[in-house]
Chains A and B, each alone.
Chain A
Amino acid sequence: MGLLTILKKLKHKEREMRLLMLGLDNAGKTTILKKFNGEDVSTISPTLGFNIKTLEHRGFKLNIWDVGGQKSLRSYWRNYFESTDGLVWVVDSADRLRLEDCRKELGALLLEERLAGATLLVFANKQDLPGALSKDAIREALTLDEIKTHHWCIVGCSAVTGENLLTGVDWLLDDIAARIFTAD
């Protein structure tokens, strides 16, 4: 732990952060990543493996890892845990039938020792759909209020329209920055 803290201090100069984006398949992880990066979202295929993007935002260098959410890929998620500063959990707000799966998978992640220091941002995605559950309903279904081990926040968003993506990421950056970068 001591070493990790010092390593984090060393990152200070570059102001670099590593964000890991996970969630069930079809949640919209890749779409969020591409939209945030200003790319075309109409040609996205289901992710077989992972995507990584490095981008500059508000003077921070963000390394964003988007790992496929198919059931057969979930056992590989752990390969991406190391030195994650922020975890972005993406939820398909219109997929009521799998909310319980979604809750369980998130619960398992939060027990991971290597994610213990990470800040959690939950994106209640697909708010543009008429049948989408509100962010409060998602918060209840995922029992987010019981999370005491991590800083967390839930933001309703739409990857297709781009609504609220910035709000969420900005909150995440602020929280991480307050934790790993000491004031100048």
Chain B
Amino acid sequence: MSITPKEVRRIAELAHLEFSPAELERFVGQFQRILDYFEQLRQVDTKGVEPTYHGLAEIPEAGAVRPDRNQPSLAPETVLEGAPKARKGYFRVPRVIE
């Protein structure tokens, strides 16, 4: 399996990241090395082996759930401290719908 510069550009777009043509070129090579490694892993016969979804999936204590209880929230002022723009307690962002 090989990756094209077009696919790398698409992935960057989806992640809202901008790169120079040189950077994209470099990523094509790096992505390809990762994919090659997975190609190598694929050689292993895994028939009948359960997929491991998480490193801790086999440890029951790690899968503990939270009781449905309230914990204090942050103060609205604190929440909005990091917002570039705010208005009347809301985050203010450029208009989303045309």
A, B co-complexed: no
A residues with a Cβ closer than 8 A to B are none
